[in-house]
């Protein structure tokens, strides 16, 4: 998993420009763009505006708000000129994505107020594909972008939308309120979802997208730079759980997996996360894993404290727990330093009997 998103931006813009050039002689101002309130001309200009805005956010390293600028077409610019601007702004976003370090994040409001280069690329691709569709619908033209582009977007900024493996374009249209899928309710409201990042003194806990999880499950890096010996096998197993949840349509990013990345060098040292959503009583299970070369430095404790504090600050979470092998003394020390306490023998016995907890495991918990 080595792509940054620059290639995908270029492919999306190429598919857009190819279609729009065939219709450059049409009346874009007098025709509404699909289900939008805008006409086709304004929608095309919006594509260009989004592309340059995303490039500006990344290039300017904006962290608290949008960079306050916009673009305007020259007076008298025809439809073909607007397509030229889309191609130019697309090239600028692709170049910015390729040259931005992977650890850089810039402001975007949805939903966690930041995105990395891959997130901005995915948002740019989504804007291009979807608004080209809107224009094509308004002008009565057929349009279907490459399936791999649609799947690429879905796996990065639509982690909550169950993908249809044979119909990624239909899935993307449904996920953005533009189409129907059999067996699913139509959407009237939607947001894409950039990955959540939780910061600590020495680490960032970076939410793993379904695309990154699938790559880790398959033996890749997930797009991270790992220290020697990483990722450990537990990380790959957890990534498989994330990928499986996404494929079933039950994945929720806040309750998924986070890779631990050192601030000092941008290298990944391990992973932490949840085994699923909180139950009806507000209980959620946590787990963590470090590459062998990263053990003994307190990274797991630091990460677990941050994750626990973030989760327990929510109204829907009352208790976090972890099941640890009785012979795993290092992990028991980690969980204790992070504020978890050993469950009573009575609670453990009930867990063994009622919930099939293995006899070799010990329970630790931390309450809100």
pLDDT number for residue 168: 98
Q: Are residues 25 and 171 in the same domain?
A: yes
pLDDT number for residue 354: 58
Q: At what angle do helices 79-99 and 6-22 cross, to 10 degrees?
A: 170
Q: Are residues 167 and 253 in the same domain?
A: no
- Helix, strand or coil, per DSSP, at residue 271: strand
Q: Where are the alpha helices (H) located in the chain, listed in sequence order?
A: 6-22, 40-60, 79-99, 117-139, 147-157, 168-175, 210-217, 233-248, 299-312, 329-337, 345-354
pLDDT band at 84 (very low <50, low <70, confident <90, very high): very high
pLDDT digits (tens, 9 = 90+) for 131-157: 999 999 999 999 999 999 999 999 999
Task: Let me know if residue 346 belongs to a domain.
Answer: yes
Task: Let me know if residue 192 belongs to a domain.
Answer: no
Q: Are residues 138 and 220 in the same domain?
A: no
C-alpha span between 17 and 156 (Å, rounded): 24
Residue written as token pair 């006899």: 359
Q: For residue 292, give both structure tokens.
A: 């062998």
C-alpha span between 1 and 223 (Å, rounded): 5
pLDDT number for residue 359: 80
Q: Are residues 222 and 363 in the same domain?
A: yes
Q: Residue 162's Cα: distance from chain center in Å?
A: 14
Q: Are residues 215 and 162 in the same domain?
A: no
Task: Let me know if residue 27 belongs to a domain.
Answer: yes
pLDDT number for residue 346: 79
Pick the last residue of a domain from 125, 143, 175. 175
Q: Are residues 297 and 246 in the same domain?
A: yes
pLDDT band at 355 (very low <50, low <70, confident <90, very high): low
- Asked if 262 and 300 touch (Cβ cutoff 8 Å), the reply is no
pLDDT number for residue 356: 75
Range of the domain at 65: 6-175
Q: Are residues 48 and 164 in the same domain?
A: yes
C-alpha span between 332 and 264 (Å, rounded): 27
First CA to last CA across the chain, in angstroms?
38
Task: Let me know if residue 187 belongs to a domain.
Answer: no
Pick the last residue of a domain from 143, 175, 207. 175
Residue written as token pair 């919930």: 355
Q: Are residues 31 and 63 in the same domain?
A: yes
Burial class (CB in 10 A: 0-12, 13-18, 19+), 248: exposed
C-alpha span between 250 and 244 (Å, rounded): 9
Asked whether residue 332 carries a pLDDT value surpassing 90, the answer given is yes
pLDDT digits (tens, 9 = 90+) for 92-122: 999 999 999 999 999 999 899 999 999 999 9
Task: Let me know if residue 180 belongs to a domain.
Answer: no
Task: Let me know if residue 292 belongs to a domain.
Answer: yes
Quick one: average pLDDT of 307-326? Answer: 95
CATH code, domain with 84: 1.20.120.450
Question: Among the listed ranges 164-168, 284-288, 336-340, 349-353, which one has the minimum average pLDDT value?
Answer: 349-353
Beta bridge partners of 214: none
Q: Are residues 221 and 158 in the same domain?
A: no
171, 209, 262, 367 from 338: Cα distances, Å: 41, 26, 19, 12
CATH code, domain with 282: 3.40.630.30
Task: Let me know if residue 189 belongs to a domain.
Answer: no
pLDDT digits (tens, 9 = 90+) for 211-242: 999 999 999 999 999 999 999 999 999 999 99
Q: Are residues 241 and 290 in the same domain?
A: yes
- Helix, strand or coil, per DSSP, at residue 365: strand
Q: Are residues 150 and 279 in the same domain?
A: no
Asked whether residue 37 carries a pLDDT value surpassing 80, the answer given is yes
Q: How many domains does the chain have?
A: 2
Q: Are residues 226 and 313 in the same domain?
A: yes
Task: Let me know if residue 182 belongs to a domain.
Answer: no
pLDDT number for residue 95: 98
């Amino acid at each position: 998993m080595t792509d940054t998103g620059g290639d995908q931006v270029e492919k999306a813009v190429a598919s857009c420009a190819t279609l729009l050039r065939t219709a450059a002689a049409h009346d874009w101002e007098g025709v509404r763009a699909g289900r939008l309130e805008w006409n086709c001309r304004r929608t095309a200009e919006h594509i260009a505006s989004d592309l340059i805005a995303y490039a500006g956010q990344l290039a300017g390293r904006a962290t608290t708000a949008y960079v306050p600028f916009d673009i305007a077409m020259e007076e008298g610019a025809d439809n073909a000129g607007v397509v030229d601007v889309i191609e130019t702004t697309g090239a600028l976003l692709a170049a910015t994505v390729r040259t931005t370090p992977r650890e850089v994040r810039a402001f975007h409001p949805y939903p966690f107020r930041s995105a990395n280069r891959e997130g901005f690329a995915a948002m740019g691709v989504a804007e291009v594909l979807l608004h080209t569709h809107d224009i094509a619908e308004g002008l009565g033209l057929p349009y279907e972008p490459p399936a791999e582009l649609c799947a690429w977007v879905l796996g990065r900024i639509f982690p909550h939308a169950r993908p249809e493996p044979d119909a990624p374009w239909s899935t993307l249209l449904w996920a953005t309120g533009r189409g129907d899928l059999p067996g699913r309710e139509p959407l009237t409201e939607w947001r894409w979802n950039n990955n959540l990042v939780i910061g600590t003194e020495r680490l960032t806990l970076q939410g793993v997208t379904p695309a990154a999880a699938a790559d880790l499950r398959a033996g890749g890096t997930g797009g991270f730079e790992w220290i020697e010996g990483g990722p450990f096998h537990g990380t790959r197993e957890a990534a498989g759980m994330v990928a499986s949840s996404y494929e079933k349509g039950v994945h929720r990013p806040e309750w998924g997996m986070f890779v631990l990345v050192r601030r000092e060098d941008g290298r990944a040292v391990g992973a932490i996360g949840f085994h699923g959503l909180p139950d009806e009583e507000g209980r959620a299970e946590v787990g963590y894993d470090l590459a062998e070369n990263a053990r003994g430095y307190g990274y797991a404790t630091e990460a677990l404290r941050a994750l626990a504090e973030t989760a327990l600050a929510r109204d829907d979470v009352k208790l976090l727990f972890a099941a640890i092998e009785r012979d795993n003394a290092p992990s028991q020390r980690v969980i204790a330093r992070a504020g978890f306490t050993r469950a009573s023998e009575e609670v453990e016995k009930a867990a063994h009997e009622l919930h099939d907890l293995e006899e070799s495991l010990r329970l630790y918990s931390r309450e809100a």
